[in-house]
Structure 1
Amino acid sequence: MSITVVLYSHDSVGLGHARRNRALAHALAADLPRLTGQPVRGLLIAGHPDATADSLPEGWDWLVLPGFTRTAEGYASRSLDVSNERLSALRRSTAAAAIKAMSPDLFIADRHPFGVGEELLDSLVWLRSQGTRCVLGLREVLDSPEATRAEWARIGGAAAAAKFYHAVWVYGDPSVYNPISSGEIPQPLATRTRFTGYLSHGRPVDEVSGSSVRAPKPYVLSMVGGGSDGGRLALAAAQARVPAGHRHIILTGPQMPLPDHARVQRTVEASPDAARIQVTRLAPHVPALVREAAAVVSMAGYNSTAEIMATTTPALLVPRAARRAEQPRRARALAAVGAVDTLALEELSAEALSRWLAEAVVRRCDRGAVDLDGLSRIGALAAAELALRPAALPRTTAVRPTPGVLRAAPRPAEAPVPVPAPYPPAHVAHAAARCAATPLSAPAAETRFDSHVR
């Protein structure tokens, strides 16, 4: 007997959804066998081929659907010369075939409960008939409350999702940002929501290889996630002065448009610091690069931020302001608890980055007040869901919890969820964190310093 898990992410822009699921896969593979006494296998359904560059645990694999991408008019086929209708039908049928073939005990969807164009709906109906436990995984910030309400309404409201999803896992710390009290997660999903903590500590890290990015320490790091909309930040980083005695690594991301990447390279070649700047699209071991950097400049996507939060490296978040309010809201919330510094995109300049880098390389940042241990809780949350599966349904991969380890009980998610203090209203000026300047050689360099509100 074994436990089968299927995780889904739509991946139209960036790799954050797939990388969250990949982190979950490693956590489940590490913990579920110990908790249930059964081996675990799984499939990750993703929508971008770059996702497969990341390794998976033994017994797990990727299924990459033909991709959608975002355009000014909405979703469109990334590569295939087909209509949206044909691409949607292809994705829907492919996902359904894979899900039925795997017959999972646990299904986890990232962010979008019904997928792109409701491509998961048929599969969710089938999964419900099989008694599969279904979980909706959400990052801690979705969007502005107004935009999120409209998004829920487009899929029939939160009640429509609640028909299929037994639990909602929010990958964040409610004392930093609470999407229930902000209105981003409405009833009835709010009553079955559990906060895991940020998925920071324990993230999978690929081994350093001969092709891995290296730079003599000390160095500073600039990164823009997948890079599809990171051209402006990468260009400013290329124009910034490198702190004395340091090198500068700039990661432009695998999805940065070629003209933007080429412009960054040309700018570096013309820089007086060119000999100390290294530009590359991709690094397979970003968490290690962040941890060993003297300072990091980054956009404020969930995964980049989660990797930063697992370290003591001072960080400046420059959130994108287009499409969603997610990144600015995340940056404000983390700055308010002293975990990062922030710079609004409209204030971005090479001079601003130069000043921040010169000041940041002489300090470290203690983020111990934030719950960063979400990955250590995923196994127990999954085991609890598996223990609640209907025992009467015949399934070839049925989970039978080890006696004394897991006991079916009244579903805890039905209990009211305590709601922490609400997130400050949008009109409140954002906070600028200060992890104070302290010599790196002193033990106090790891101390957190007070934030202030401007």
Structure 2
Amino acid sequence: MSITVAMYSHDSLGLGHARRNRALAHALAADLPRLTGQRVRGLLIAGHPDATQDALPPGWDWLVLPGFARTPGGYASRNLGVSASRLTALRSGTAAAALEAVEPDLFIADRHPFGVGDELGEALSMLRERGTATVLGLREVLDSPDVARREWEKASWNGFSGADAVAAAYDAVWVYGDRGVYDPVATGELPGPLAERSVFTGYLSHGRPDDPVGPSGVQAPQPYVLTMVGGGSDGGALGLAAATARVPAGHTHIILTGPQMPQKDHDAILDAVCRSGAPKGTVRVSRYAPHVPKLVRHAAAVISMTGYNSMAEVMATTTPALTVPRSGHREEQPRRAAALARAGAVDLLPADELSAQAVGEWFSSAVRRRTFRDHIDLDGLTHIGDVAHELLAAQRPAAVTGLQHNATERIPHVSV
């Protein structure tokens, strides 16, 4: 007997969705066998080939769909050169066939309930018919309440519309955050039909998978400071400011530009480092490091954009952090940055105040202190096995063994 888990992320911009699912995969692979006595295997459906650079637990694998990219005119094919509708049909059929083949007991979609262009509609109908437990996983901040409401209103599936369509397709909504730091129900980002079935897991921080440092990995002697920009597609400005910032005496500066940073922006950062006059080897620039949690943990200080995964990795440490939220596109990052700054978890530098001088001055002060974040619930990955176990037992009790289940009983450490 085994339990099969399938996850989906659309990955049109950045790798945050796939990396959230990957962290969940490691947590579920570790905890569900202990809770159920059964082997756990899984499939992660992703939309960007860079996702596969991150290792999965034994018995798990990636399925990479042909990619979408976000453009000023909407979603478009990243590489194939076909219309968005043809690409949606290809992705939809591929995902449905894969899910039909693996027959998951648990399906988790990250952020977008029906995928790009409703590409998950067919698959969800099949999963609902076979009794698969379905979960919509959400970061704690979606967007401004007005934008979030309009996005929910657009949803439609099997004769349902709006938030009711999402509620019909998904048994549970897992919110990966601490309600005391940011509450999307209170702000109106999570409407009533979904709020009723939501579980706040805590941030997915402690227990993130930490890949080993290989021969080609980013390595630097301590002490060092770190700048990272997530996937990097819009991190050029922060990378440039960091490239010419003054490095604290006796420290090395590592700059991670991200696998999705445009080549011209990456080259501009390298050129800026060369022109900065910093002693050779003081500033090291790399596109990618599989062991970011370890780099953050051992850094004297870190500057980062405010994507969910970057903040989750930062908050698992006592490393002082300055966050520079992305401006434009969505209000997600500014809202998260403000909430975490109010909670004392990070320092905040608005994007319009970014400069090499501001970066250098912050580094100089930050390397002399630590930041403690133990007042925030950072144990979502520890909680998630119990949350999944309870859902599986309620939906498919025959598939789960060893559970003393009470449908009316809530798990004490999970806020609902």
Same fold (TM over 0.5): yes
Report the AA paired with residue 291 of structure 1. Answer: R
Q: How does 1:188-337 map to 2 (within 5 A)?
A: 188-275=193-280, 276-337=282-343
- Give the share of equivalent positions with the same residue, in percent: 65
Report the AA paired with residue 97 of structure 1. Answer: A
1:389 CA displacement: 2.0
Report the AA paired with residue 194 of structure 2. Answer: L
Distance in 2 (CA, whole Å) between partners of 1:345 and 1:292 is 26
Residues 1:390 and 1:290: Cα distance change in structure 2 (over 3 Å): closer
Report the AA paired with residue 125 of structure 2. Answer: V
1:409 CA displacement: 2.2
1:407 counterpart = 2:405: yes
Match of 1:353 among 343, 354, 359: 359
Report the AA paired with residue 139 of structure 1. Answer: R
Structure 2 length as normaliser, TM-score?
0.96
For residue 422 of structure 1, what is the aligned residue in structure 2?
Answer: none
- CA offset digits 1:412-447 (Å, max 9, x no partner): 69xxx988xxxxxxxxxxxxxxxxxxxxxxxxxxxx
For residue 158 of structure 2, what is the aligned residue in structure 1?
Answer: none
- CA offset digits 1:261-299 (Å, max 9, x no partner): 000000001112152100000011000100110100000
Distance in 1 (CA, whole Å) between partners of 2:415 and 2:372 is 27
For residue 149 of structure 2, what is the aligned residue in structure 1?
Answer: 149
Q: How does 1:76-91 map to 2 (within 5 A)?
A: 76-91=76-91
Distance in 1 (CA, whole Å) between partners of 2:81 and 2:173 is 36
Match of 2:370 among 364, 372, 377: 364
Q: How does 1:117-128 map to 2 (within 5 A)?
A: 117-128=117-128
SS at structure 1 position matched to 2:76? strand
For residue 66 of structure 2, what is the aligned residue in structure 1?
Answer: 66
SS at structure 2 position matched to 1:233? helix
- CA offset digits 1:198-252 (Å, max 9, x no partner): 0000000101111111111111000000000000000000011111111100000
For residue 31 of structure 2, what is the aligned residue in structure 1?
Answer: 31
User: Following superposition, which runs of at least 4 residues in structure 1 exceed 6 angstroms of deviation?
Assistant: none
Equivalent pairs, count: 408
Distance in 1 (CA, whole Å) between partners of 2:279 and 2:29 is 44
For residue 17 of structure 1, what is the aligned residue in structure 2?
Answer: 17
1:164 CA displacement: 1.1
What stretches of structure 2 of length at least 5 have no aligned partner?
Answer: 156-160
Distance in 2 (CA, whole Å) between partners of 1:400 and 1:347 is 53
Report the AA paired with residue 308 of structure 2. Answer: Y
Report the AA paired with residue 18 of structure 2. Answer: A
Residues 1:410 and 1:164: Cα distance change in structure 2 (over 3 Å): farther
Distance in 2 (CA, whole Å) between partners of 1:229 and 1:30 is 35
Residues 1:366 and 1:387: Cα distance change in structure 2 (over 3 Å): same
Distance in 2 (CA, whole Å) between partners of 1:80 and 1:36 is 43
- CA offset digits 1:284-337 (Å, max 9, x no partner): 100010011010000000000000000000000000012110000000000001
Residues 1:118 and 1:406: Cα distance change in structure 2 (over 3 Å): farther
- Judge conservation of contact 2:229–2:257 (CA < 8 Å) in 1: yes
- Judge conservation of contact 1:384–1:406 (CA < 8 Å) in 2: no
Structure 1 length as normaliser, TM-score?
0.88
Distance in 1 (CA, whole Å) between partners of 2:229 and 2:322 is 12
Distance in 1 (CA, whole Å) between partners of 2:279 and 2:332 is 34
Distance in 2 (CA, whole Å) between partners of 1:279 and 1:341 is 24
- Judge conservation of contact 1:148–1:184 (CA < 8 Å) in 2: yes
For residue 101 of structure 2, what is the aligned residue in structure 1?
Answer: 101
For residue 110 of structure 2, what is the aligned residue in structure 1?
Answer: 110
Residues 1:316 and 1:86: Cα distance change in structure 2 (over 3 Å): same
